[in-house]
Amino acid sequence: MKIAATADVHARAGADAGANGEVERLRVIAEGAGRDADVLVIGGDLTDLGRSEEAEVLLEALEACPIPVVATLGNHDYQSGEADALSGIFVEFGIHLLDRSSVVIDGVGFSGVKGFCGGFDQALANAFGENLFKEWVTEGIAEARALEDGLRALGTERTVAVLHYAPIRATVEGEPPEIFPFLGSSHLAKALDEAGAAVAFHGHAHNGSFAGKTPAGIPVFNVSVPVLHSEGFELPYYVFEV
């Protein structure tokens, strides 16, 4: 199976975005992925401000995509407090929206979570101190556990992890180190290594690095559109075969 992976497409709507041009920008991804791959994966930030009208712009573009679409939400999709409504719109359209959930397509298992913050390696935050801080750390742990459980439950020979936040430090390198704790969590890498996966895709770190590996050697790709542009990809997705 060939997977066209992208993230941070940030669909916009309204006069400030030039809606007609926005559909064409996004349709390039939909049409290209349909030619080059068997499944399109979008690792979060489907919309720019989490508004339903932005979702409709993206879906108009995805009408040109003849292959299954697998996606997670990102932090931008939560911005306007309409994440549940957006999820309903995407699912009704036929997108396989992964939110601590999984799907099997042609024998390949996909499990996905948005992920969350927490930091990496020796700088991984501990759930100690104020309740608010404990909740912040615990959310990242819960997302990682859901990812591990989802991957384990698939039972397919090949499994793919779809995330928004990064599981490893290597793919956020290029961002200011001060914001690393807000870009992802090593808890996600541990989940990948414990459950096993053929590959993991994420976005979120627009100025990060394209590729890295978990401690156990699972390949991880930051497929944020800005990263793909900086890497010189002709079209804003990366094709990976599993």
SS3 string of 51-120?
Answer: CHHHHHHHHHHHCCCCCCEEEECCHHHHCCCCHHHHHHHHHHHCCEECCCEEEEECCEEEEECCCCCCEC
Amino acid making up residue 6 = T
Residue ranges of domains in the chain, CATH in brackets = 2-241 (3.60.21.10)
* Dist CA 141 CA 157 (whole Å): 26
What pLDDT is recorded for position 17?
Answer: 65
Amino acid making up residue 36 = D
Q: What is the pTM of this model?
A: 0.97
Mean pLDDT (the chain) is 96
25-40 confidence digits (pLDDT tens): 999 999 999 999 999 9
pLDDT band at 14 (very low <50, low <70, confident <90, very high): confident
